[in-house]
A and B are shown apart, each in its own frame.
Chain A
Amino acid sequence: MRWRNLRTYWLSTEVLGELLLIALAFALFGYLFVLSFDWPEAARLLPRIAVIIGVPFGLVRLVVLLRRVRPSAASVMDTSFRIEGQDPRAIAGRFVRIWTWLLALYLGIWMLGFHFALPVGTFIYLFRYGKAGWVWSVGLSVAIYATIKLVYDVALDAVWFDAVIPQWLGLV
């Protein structure tokens, strides 16, 4: 009974998600530790301190997590997602939507550059999901474009990377 409960618990998203975080931390610690043998003493000190602190605390966290923990009264000094009492499917939908938009925005920036992708991407979100209406969607997008153009281009003489599509078209 105890084993079955534990196995169900271990396969829950609560555990698997955090295991991923711990694995990421251990991967970095391990990578730094292995490489540190090739570095001079001065260079290996800091990463090894990270490993010496991180690995024991990581192991403690791992044990505490796998042995199933009851939340303590004190709280982590950070904010958490405010999703209590909401329909999980709606949450998942909004999660996918914002991530899709973010990735599309960044892809757009890479392909088309900031000047085009940022105002257009913002407009699409504001108009489609923000329900901000034409006036505000256009107004805020234009304000973003004006910031790019007037502040960064004119005042700061900013350097931009060459976006992919303008390069293909021979525009840059």
Chain B
Amino acid sequence: MGKNNRARYGAIFALLAVALMVFALSGCGSDPTQEPAPAPTATTAPADTGQAESPAPAPAATPTPAPADTGQAESPAPAPAATPTPVPAGAPTQAPSETGPAMQESEFAGHFDDEPVTIVVGSAPGGGYDLLARTIARFAPQHLPGEPRRFQIRNVSGGGGLRAWETLLRSDADGRTILTLNINLIRQVLLGREVSGLDLNTLPLIGAPTRVSDPYLICADRHKYSSWDDLLADGSVTIAGGTGGRVPMGAHFVELVGGPMKTIPGYEGSTETLAAFERGELEASTCIQRRDPRLLPELVEDMRWLPLFWWNTRPNQEWLDTLGAPEPYHIYDLPGVDFQDWQKTAFNATVEYNDFLRMYVVHPDTPPGLVQVWRDSYQAVIEDPGFIEAAGIAGYDVGFGSPDDFGQVIDDLLSLPPEGLELVLRLSGIN
């Protein structure tokens, strides 16, 4: 190597080294502990939760919709990251007396003050699990005892939620790490899979954020059909679904018992689905008042939606009047579709079970008192009006699902006959 070249290489290395250092130091500009500005005021009407929950994360190269639109598939974005979420400056810290039983407060007051609280999320940033966790992280500091300094989100994808569960197991059982459990892992356990440390009977659940009684409604394209009888005559009406979400699940159920619905997996999100419906690619869609008309108002203006059937809760009359005739059926009253009792039981169990999507758990060895603190605090978060509004913008209708209720749901599932459990799994998108 000549002297000149050596000098040049030296200059290049120096440049590289400086670039690396600048790069490294500039990264520090985003100090995660810095005090952030107050949260912006919501400007839009609350949205609905997703069309469906993904049975497992989709392959990495597939684009994923934002959960405001769907929640059908968790984000498979290629770069999961553990990123800190700062506590809003000036956020009112609720007095311990408002968060839980007095004894637990005094015992655990200050427990969360010094160390950050980590929420482990088993999927990549930007997906449904992640967005809801970040919204919870914004409001949780106000409801935990003491003055928690910060929350951080840790995205650990892999193994359909298994890696995230293992991360929780490896953490200290001190309540400073909580996990938003991937529903698929529960499904796999129901299928008989052994998951280390995961026992459905002793699952250390602190609550679920999306237990609601939404009115779920399916509509057909009025340009193609004028009544349910038309659909029966056609025999096969296409609708996005079949991947386990709670919103199109009714259509999937009708299909599985031989009704005139044909669910098509592959669509990712309500926006994509509604866009396909609008251009005539699909013949039916969900038509839920809180979400769908907001995403594509033209569908209401053009009177495209022909109400067909509902389940869970009856849609309000104002919405049905807007959609126009005919009056939709309750799913079990659909003419020409024969539901057996065990099928209805399985469907009801699945509806209940799907309310516990995105449940939150702590380490199985966490002291009972600390678990109770978390349950009380978590419930307070879910019922916080600010959280409800923020979650609405993020696309979720929220409601507290208690651990006791979940125990009942699991009992119901496990008491189903084998064909009933199989139906539950198929409705959940597991084939």
Contacts and interface: CB of A to CB of B under 8 A. Distances in A.
**Chains A and B touch each other in the complex, with CB atoms below 8 Å apart:** yes
A156 B20 contact: no
Interface string B10-43: 1001001100110111011110100000000000
Contacts, number: 53
**Contact size class for B?**
20 to 34
A172 B151 CA distance: 22
Interface stretch (A15-23, A88-96, A135-143): A135-143
B431 interface: yes
B170 A162 contact: yes
B21 A156 contact: no
B431 A43 contact: yes
A136 B167 CA distance: 38
Contact of B156 (A156, A157, A159): A159
A143 B17 CA distance: 6
A71 interface: no
Interface string A120-159: 0000000000000000100110011011011100111111
Nearest to B27: A155
B170 A143 contact: no
A44 to B, nearest CB: 11
A155 B23 CA distance: 11
Nearest to B30: A155
Given A155-B28, A155-B30, A157-B83, A147 B23 contact: yes
Contact of B13 (A42, A136, A157, A159): A136
A156 B16 CA distance: 21
A139 B17 contact: yes
Contact of B265 (A39, A42, A155): A42
B82 A154 contact: no
6 contacts: A140-B16, A146-B21, A147-B23, A156-B82, A158-B81, A159-B156
Given A146-B20, A147-B23, A156-B27, 8 more contacts: A143-B17, A149-B24, A150-B28, A154-B27, A158-B81, A159-B82, A159-B156, A162-B170
Interface of A: 39-40, 42-43, 136, 139-140, 143-144, 146-147, 149-151, 154-159, 162
Interface of B: 10, 13, 16-17, 20-21, 23-25, 27-30, 32, 81-84, 152, 154, 156, 167, 170, 265, 431
